[in-house]
Amino acid sequence: MCSLSYEEQRRLNEMKDQFILNVSHELRTPLTQVYGYLELLEIYHNTLTSDKQMGYIHKAMQGCTALVPLIDTILKVGVTDSHMNPLQAEELLVADVMHEVLEEFQSLQLQEHPVDLEIAEGLVVQADPQSLCQVLRNLLSNAFKYTPPHTPVQVIATRGDPTAQRPDGTSQVCICVQDRGPGIPPDDIPLLFGKFVRLKRDLAGPVRGTGLGLYISKQLVEAMGGSIWVESSGIAGQGSRFYFTLPAPALHHTR
């Protein structure tokens, strides 16, 4: 068993501390929103109009909605690390999964960042449905965060080289999510998928999140028999391209 050096242990502890700070901040914001509007309802319910009460309830629900993916992300780390909840692979149409994930995002997000889809017709992957949705959700959320408003995010899904089949007779499907953000310096790319890692990118304002999405995505993609990587020039405006592959069903690649 290999022990960590003092410097490695110090860096890991620093990243853990930063992770705790990130999570605390992300939890506090929606919780404060929920608590504040429920408190207003409790104090002023006798004097508020029905429309005002419904408005406060709606605001509290928005806070709850923001908490759900955050808590799910934190729990997912424990699941992927402990190898609990084994994946159930099945044949999935990529276009159907993509549209299901896009429906989860608020309409405002899609207005600010329209998604250009280029998905090969009838493209099928062999994957766990929940895990594939989680990976796409993570990569799209990441792309929305770093892409300037009213700038499209691109998703391309293609068949791999049919002659490059794996020993089990399957070939690969490749999915790419491209943002138009500030890019990632080459020296930072090897760090992206690490646990507790959150890189600073050259943006006008703060970017919310725990920094766990890419770590979880890597664990899930590899558990489904694929691989994940990123390409970026590090030049502002050219953005980054996140690729991942998944097995296509053996013997056929379309429905």
Determine, yes or no, domain membership for 255. no
Determine, yes or no, domain membership for 102. yes
Average pLDDT rounded to a whole number, residues 137-146: 89
Between residues 75 and 225, the one the model is more confident about: 225
Determine, yes or no, domain membership for 243. yes
Determine, yes or no, domain membership for 132. yes
> What is the DSSP annotation of 62-74?
HHHHHHHHHHHHH
Last residue within a domain, chosen from 36, 52, 82: 82
Angstrom distances, CA of residue 198 to CA of 86, 103, 142, 205: 28, 27, 12, 15
Instruction: Note the pTM of the prediction, 2 decimals.
Output: 0.70
Determine, yes or no, domain membership for 196. yes
Determine, yes or no, domain membership for 48. yes
Between residues 93 and 9, the one the model is more confident about: 93
Q: Are residues 75 and 102 in the same domain?
A: no
Q: Rounded to the nearest 5°, which phi and psi values hold at 115?
A: -105, 120
Q: CATH number, domain at 224?
A: 3.30.565.10
- pLDDT on residue 231: 94
Q: CATH number, domain at 78?
A: 1.10.287.130
What the block records as the tokens of 124 is 């099928």
Between residues 254 and 78, the one the model is more confident about: 78
Q: Are residues 32 and 139 in the same domain?
A: no
Last residue within a domain, chosen from 24, 53, 82: 82
CB under 8 A, 24+ apart: contacts of 213-217? 213/73, 213/138, 213/139, 213/141, 213/142, 214/138, 214/142, 215/77, 216/73, 216/76, 216/77, 216/80, 216/134, 216/138, 217/134, 217/135, 217/138, 217/139, 217/193, 217/244
Q: DSSP secondary-structure letter at 133?
A: H
Determine, yes or no, domain membership for 156. yes
Polymer length in residues for the chain: 255
Domain containing 69 equals 6-82
Interval 26-57: pLDDT, tens: 677 778 888 898 999 999 888 889 898 999 99
Q: How many domains does the chain have?
A: 2
Q: Are residues 112 and 179 in the same domain?
A: yes
Q: DSSP secondary-structure letter at 147?
A: S
The mean predicted confidence, pLDDT, of the chain is 80
Percent of the chain with pLDDT over 70: 71
Highest mean pLDDT among 74-88, 174-188, 224-238: 174-188
Highest mean pLDDT among 92-101, 145-154, 178-187, 228-237: 92-101
